[in-house]
Amino acid sequence: MSRLAAAFARARSEKRAAFVAYLCAGDPDFETSLAACRAVIENGVDVLELGVPFSDPLADGLTNQLAAQRALASGMTSARVFELVRRIREFSEVPVVFYTYYNLVFTNGVDAYVRAARAGRVDGLLTLDLPPEEAGELATACRAQGVDTVFIVAPTTPDARIAIIAKAATGFIYYVSREGVTGVRDQVAGNIPEAVTRIRACTGLPVAVGFGISSRAQVAQVAEHADGVIVGSVLVNCIRDHLGDTGKITARLAAVTADLAQGTRRAG
């Protein structure tokens, strides 16, 4: 069983949703980013989704765009992202999924990139702008190296296309609960139960829901229906709000993560 599969299975056995936390690798610098990753991992995160900083993050709202800018300005590169995972592996076996864009994979050579991911003990790749119909080369490389693939389903995705996406994925399905980009929202989208049911009709893989989830109450709403809850911008804001003070960043991240994690437990 892969680390990803084990994480979702463990959460299911504990009658809760898996907590997936997003942070941008290298935000605002390498050492602070490493400390931030440790803070969330040690306070209830089941899966760490690491954003690979990119100059054109089309799926991201302002919060994550600025995080990527800070990381790139500090000298973060693809090689250093892999180094960050190696440092994480010194203290944790939590599954790590790269949230990335295909240009970063393609320009390094697809096979070489996936081999580097495997060597660096990365568990999965979520390539935001790569549709499954065009993902054959990546899928083949990932299967050969034992790296899971994650694909996105949107509120506008028709049932026939959900089946195609589900067939291409091996790790989990990422359901984007809102149209648009990442960011904190006041309310959870109202279509989640129906959407999760539609996706489950096409796959036995876990379904994790993200985009706009930022409070314990919102986590709890989603956890009643989904196998995993993905939280990002509210955690990235903990870094933004305390730039220059690693101690405050990690303390705030620890508190916010622990609070959000409490929402993953299902009623009854």
Q: Which residues are catalytic?
A: 49, 60
266 DSSP assignment? P
Q: Which residues pair with 174 in a beta bridge?
A: 152, 208
Query: 238 is written with which tokens?
Result: 């903990």
Query: 205 is written with which tokens?
Result: 């893989």
Query: Between 62-73 and 233-240, two packed helices, what is the crossing angle to 10 degrees?
Result: 50
